Amino acid sequence: MRKHIHLLLFFASLFILFSCHHKNDDPTPENQKTLFVYMPWSNNLTSYFYTNLNDLEDAIIERGLKDERVIVFFSETSTDASMFEMVYKNGKVTRETINTYKNPPFTTASGITSIINDVKRVAPANVYSMIIGSHGFGWVPVQSTTLRRISDFKYHWENENVPLTRYFGGTSPEFQTDISTLAQGITDAGIKMEYILFDDCYMSTIEVAYDLRYATDHIIASTSEIMAYGMPYAIIGKHLLGTPNYQAICDGFYQFYSTYSYPYGTLGIVDCREVDAIIPIMKEINANYQISSSAISSIQRLDGYTPTIFFDFGDYVDKFCEDTQLLLSFKSQLDKVVPNKTHTGAYYSMNNGVNQINTFSGITVSDPSLNGRASEKVNTAWYIATH
């Protein structure tokens, strides 16, 4: 009997040894979270990106890194980019180069997937989050250079001698990326982001949220133009690491922009997991009510375009839904879609300057837009699902 016990103990010890050895060879991520900072070529914003990265390093030094890594993809020029890691050690942050890129294909889904796969390879994690620093124009699709030449439409970034704001993917079509392409690039990499922070103009839109609902749980973005300085990472950076504190992110954003030299800013935290639930409500509203052309001008606008492209979503529905119970259902679900938001008393546009904010739901919609540049709204997944 004692011999049998000894054999059992021997085999048990072998099992433990092999189990431990297998665990060490297991590709299971050692770090809980990887924050991926993605800064594709964006023309005149490069100097601001350097400031953003320095501010993020300050936040890391203040908080430290706890079972997490920060990987940055940064385009130094229109043809050259690098990937590096912000490594925190002994109270300092150093940048360790991982890879360099020549003409990286960041405007294609396959190109975005390959870049994200590089991140997964060097910093595998249980949770991934993403910051995108660039210019931005919401859901509005990229147009060809030829089509752009025959249009009299003037983009906000084309104005000169005014304070600068941002755009997603550069100020010319060859450097711009459609949201549907971004969504495919992320999902094809086999991950779903914890959040995507768009450090870009006009990205808190219901159309964008609907396109990205399978690519990310949350979107952190501005409903309007955001000043070229971008997000105040020195203040909000610590709330982006670890478990995100979305209310603290809003509070830090307001703290910065309410006292900034250009005191204008809007921010919405969108829970993409709640977007599907608002579809049947909007479908019923659209089937029974239609906004009058006279009422469109009374909706809270959140851009500087004429006619308006980006309207406050909550105010839009409030202006034409006459069913009290249906409106209550909409507002209740909208509060779940945008649980956290903040804004200064006004927003700024390079097109028309300062605009007052009288009502704010933290997200925009382009359904009522009469602007020719928004004509493709009928082809968005959001519009098709709700009409």
Label residue 143 by pLDDT band (50, 70, 90).
Answer: low
More confident residue, 4 or 211: 211
Is residue 151 over pLDDT 90?
A: no
How much is the pLDDT for 134?
77
- Spatial CA neighbour of 369 closest among 301, 314, 267: 301
- Spatial CA neighbour of 225 closest among 344, 50, 382: 344
Minimum mean pLDDT among 19-28, 68-77, 132-141: which range?
Answer: 19-28
Residue 308 CA to residue 301 CA, distance in Å, equals 7
Is residue 149 over pLDDT 60?
A: no
How much is the pLDDT for 142?
79
Residue 275 CA to residue 300 CA, distance in Å, equals 21
How much is the pLDDT for 37?
98
More confident residue, 156 or 290: 290
Label residue 29 by pLDDT band (50, 70, 90).
Answer: low
Is residue 333 over pLDDT 90?
A: yes
Minimum mean pLDDT among 20-34, 266-280, 338-352: which range?
Answer: 20-34
Domain ranges, ordered by start, for the chain: 31-276, 277-336+369-386
How much is the pLDDT for 156?
56
Per-residue pLDDT, averaged over 280-287, amounts to 98
Query: How deeply is 14 buried, as exposed, middle or buried, from its count of CB atoms within 10 A (0-12, 13-18, 19+)?
Result: exposed
More confident residue, 7 or 32: 32
Token pair 């189990």 is found at: 19
Per-residue pLDDT, averaged over 63-82, amounts to 94
Per the CB < 8 A criterion, the answer to whether 226 and 199 are in contact is: yes
Per-residue pLDDT, averaged over 250-260, amounts to 98
Is residue 13 over pLDDT 70?
A: no
- Spatial CA neighbour of 171 closest among 197, 195, 142: 142
Q: Which amino acid is at 263?
A: P
How much is the pLDDT for 31?
75
- Spatial CA neighbour of 55 closest among 66, 34, 70: 70
DSSP states of 296-339: HTTS-B-SS-SS-S-EEHHHHHHHH---HHHHHHHHHHHHHHS-
Per-residue pLDDT, averaged over 14-33, amounts to 49
Which element (helix H / strand E) includes 93? strand 92-102
Q: Which residues pair with 301 in a beta bridge?
A: 311
Per the CB < 8 A criterion, the answer to whether 349 and 156 are in contact is: yes
Residue 335 CA to residue 348 CA, distance in Å, equals 25
More confident residue, 31 or 69: 69
| Tokens (6 digits) for 72 | 């940055």
Q: Which amino acid is at 18?
A: F
Label residue 57 by pLDDT band (50, 70, 90).
Answer: very high
* Fold (topology level) of 31-276: Rossmann fold (3.40.50)
How much is the pLDDT for 164?
76
The residues near 81 (Cβ < 8 Å, ≥ 6 apart) are: 40, 41, 73, 74, 75, 100, 101, 104, 106
Is residue 160 over pLDDT 70?
A: no
pTM of this structure = 0.88
Rounded (to 5) percent helix, strand, coil in the chain:
40, 25, 35
Which element (helix H / strand E) includes 32? strand 31-39
β-strands 266-271, 340-343 pairing: antiparallel
What is the DSSP code (8-state) at residue 352? T
> What value does the mean pLDDT of the chain take?
88
More confident residue, 46 or 245: 245
Label residue 137 by pLDDT band (50, 70, 90).
Answer: confident
The residues near 206 (Cβ < 8 Å, ≥ 6 apart) are: 275, 278, 313, 337, 363, 364, 365, 382
